[in-house]
Every structure is written in C-alpha cells, then in structure tokens.
C-alpha cells in the first residue's frame, strides 16, 4: 500500500535561488511518515505514554531534480521491509509524474526513558 501526502512549497522552504533547500526534503518526508502512521491507527502519543518512541536510524537520500517556490508536491511512502526490530520504507517526492527526491528510511523503536532500542510491538507489526 502506498501512502500519498500533499505538500506545497512555501517561500520559507526555499534557498536564495528559489529552490527547495536540501534539508527541507527531510522535513517533508517526516510529515508524510507522521501522517502515514496516524492513518494506520497508530497513536504516537499513546506509544510515548507507554514508554516507546519511533526514531530514525538511517536515511539514504538521492536528490534528483529541484522543486521550486509554490509548487505542489506529493510524497509517497511505502513499506519495504519489517523485521522484529526495524521498519524500512521508501519515500519519494514527486511534482506531477517527475520524481524529485527519493530516500530509504529505517526507523526503530526505543525506550522513551533510556533510549535503548526495543523490538517493534507486535500490534504495530500487524498493522504493517
């Protein structure tokens, strides 16, 4: 299943050349992941209250073409692999049918107090 999330490029997202500043793509895909998790029915606030939080372990990113001020973009998120300890997904940013950015993102769960890695809860793996 592919999750699609719309984003509009605002002036604050751009650099002096009027193109999206490279680090803002990470913000865009973070918003898309948060929306995707919410749409799955996973309450991140409840997880945190239970002592678990999601953290990004690794991102591999490719910048393919620039996005510019006021463009409408679409972020697509798709699960690639789920293990007892990790979730790996692909995320792509499109303007229309043109792919602008792609990333492979690995997230894990950690204990909210100690920061120690823990297994993904079975109920979360079942949602994926």
Distance CA 3, CA 33 (A): 9
**Which residues are annotated as catalytic?**
15
The total of other beta-carbon atoms located within 10 Å of residue 35's CB is 16
Cα 93 to chain centroid, rounded: 11
Looking only at the bridges linking them, the beta strands covering 72-82 and 87-95 are antiparallel
DSSP letter for each residue of 6-35: EEE--GGGB-TTSBB-TTHHHHHHHHHHHH
Identify any residues that bridge with 39 across adjacent strands, giving them in sequence order: none
CA atoms within 13 A on the CB side of 57: 16
């Amino acid at each position: 299943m592919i999750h699609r999330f719309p984003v509009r490029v605002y002036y604050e997202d751009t650099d002096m050349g009027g193109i999206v500043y490279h680090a803002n793509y990470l913000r865009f895909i973070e918003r898309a992941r948060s929306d995707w998790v919410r749409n799955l029915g996973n309450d991140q606030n409840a997880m945190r209250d239970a002592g678990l939080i999601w953290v990004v372990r690794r991102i591999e990113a490719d910048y393919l073409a620039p996005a510019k001020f006021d463009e409408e973009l679409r972020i697509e998120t798709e699960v690639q692999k789920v293990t007892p300890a990790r979730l790996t997904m692909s995320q792509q940013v499109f303007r229309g049918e043109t792919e602008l950015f792609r990333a492979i993102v690995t997230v894990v769960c950690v204990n909210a107090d100690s920061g120690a890695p823990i297994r993904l809860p079975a109920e979360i793996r079942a949602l994926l």
